[in-house]
Structure 1
């Protein structure tokens, strides 16, 4: 089991091309922890904005009558990947991991696999 700080450090050190990561409460839009980012990547602003993305997707699924749960959401930009992974189990309800990757330096499939593994170890 790993706490928020340890998980964020493992994301940044262990996922090739990671530019920033956050653990976010999507009921409030507040980041519980962030690591990385910078002047061009404000992770607190991104946390709040991506909260709206999750809420919209869940609402759309309800309107369509779709069953199941969102595992992750991928947003592809010209130079970056933004991965939103909802945290399941062990009190993770209402939380998500947010990861920003440099598109040229990352392997998206491996990053998603590693993020899933780290999500399973996270203890909030």
Structure 2
């Protein structure tokens, strides 16, 4: 599936508030859906780029030879899921903001994993 189809599928996840495909090297969103007045996805994409970079630096500093599967940020009313794409040489990640009262974290993680597997770049 292409990026637009992947974004549409992610927005179909129960509780989805917004989703983006982001390049953590540049901080640019390749595409996004959802968001709104209280969730600026372009700003969130750039901010979460720093989160991914910081975690990658921490892994390197600790000499942990592994890959990031998910990064989860829990807020009072939202979950923010960051899922780096597992392809070699890829600097992209999926970012999903989820309403805690309507979403299911386990199902959202499972759905993002499936979207990642089907995404063709």
Give TM class, smaller chain. over 0.9
The aligned residue for residue 56 of structure 1 is 54
**Secondary structure at 2:102's aligned position in 1?**
coil
1:1-124 equivalence runs, <5 A:
2-13=1-12, 15-89=13-87, 93-124=90-121
Q: TM-score, normalised to structure 2's length?
A: 0.97
CA deviation profile, 1:72-122 (whole Å, cap 9, x unmatched): 100000000000000112x77000000000000011000000000000100
Instruction: Determine the C-alpha separation between the residues in 2 that align with 1:55 and 1:109.
Output: 25
Gaps of 5+ in 2: none
Moved beyond 3 Å, runs of 4+: none
Instruction: Determine the C-alpha separation between the residues in 1 that align with 2:2 and 2:69.
Output: 20
Gaps of 5+ in 1: none
RMSD value, Cα: 1.0
Distance 1:107 1:92, change over 3 A: farther
Measure how far apart 1:16 and its partner are. Answer: 0.5
